Structure 1
Amino acid sequence: MIKAIDIGIPNALGFSISGEITESDVSEALIKAKSLGEHFGNITIYEEVESFQGLEISALTKKFKYLLDVGVSNISAAAILTDKKWLQKIVRLEDKIFRNIDIRCFSLEQREEAIHFLEQYAPNGSD
């Protein structure tokens, strides 16, 4: 399940992840990402991963289709909060693959640091 989180940054798509991620979850998140991208140009991603029990293949396909079509070019930065070692390794790999996105991993206790990191990518002024 993906649950939206407001972290106080206008161009940030914030959410927490727990359990299994469905195609419906990903679709909702991508609709929000597209809307933010249309409004701000560039967006940031904030993810808190507390537990993860799987991902529907259709959800993964939808995510990568978005990233390849429009998503990569409009994402400036991503902050992933997790204490899962295997996920931290994936985040480091994604940072190398998606070189135009500043991707950083934080522990779940580093919420303030993660938000501060994303604030440098916030739009100037208010819309």
Structure 2
Amino acid sequence: MIEVIDVEGANVIGVRVQGKIQKDEMLKALDTVKGALDDMETVNIYAEVDEFEGFEVQAFLHDMRVALPNALRFRKEAVVTNQESLKKWIYFSNLIWLGGQAKVFSTDNRDAAIEWVQHPA
């Protein structure tokens, strides 16, 4: 499941993820992302992730169709999770993500994650 959540910040999109992300949920979330990209030069992502189990294939493909052509426009991603495997994935993504930075925060540090993602890179 992925759903858009309210997070303060002019260029911040918030999402909550739990379990496996399905295509219809992804399309709904991507509508919000595409709208933000239409209105803003850069976008930051705040994600609360609990028990992430992956993507349905079609959900992943739709995500890549938006993310890849706009990769340089995503500056920061704050990921709030206690899931160890996801922390390792975020570390790896920082090695290949040009122009942006992802940072992991424990669930006890949600406020710090929001503060970090709200400020320009």
TM range (shorter): over 0.9
Runs of 4+ in 1 over 6 A off after TM superposition: none
Where in structure 2 are there 5+ consecutive unaligned residues? none
- Aligned residue-pair number: 121
Please give the secondary structure, in 1, of the residue aligned with 2:13.
strand
User: Are residue 68 (structure 1) and residue 60 (structure 2) matched?
Assistant: no
Q: When the two structures are superposed, what TM-score results if normalisation uses the length of structure 1? A: 0.88
Unaligned regions of 5+ residues in structure 1, if any? 123-127
User: How is 1:1-127 mapped onto 2 (pairs within 5 angstroms)?
Assistant: 1-69=1-69, 71-121=70-120
Question: 1:40-85 CA deviation, whole Å, 9 max, x = no partner?
Answer: 211100100012233201111111222222x212111100111011
Q: How far, CA to CA, are the matches of 1:28 and 1:19 in structure 2?
A: 17
TM-score, with structure 2 as normaliser: 0.92
User: Which one has a larger percent strand, Structure 1 or Structure 2?
Assistant: 2
CA RMSD of aligned residues (A): 1.4
Rounded Cα–Cα distance in structure 1 between residues aligned with 2:19 and 2:79: 16
Are the equivalent residues in 1 in contact too, given 2:11–2:118 (CA < 8 A)?
A: no
Code of the residue aligned with 2:15 in structure 1: it is F
Structure 2 Cα separation of the partners of residues 117 and 96 of structure 1 = 20
- Paired residue secondary structure (1:51): strand
Shift of 1:10: 2.1
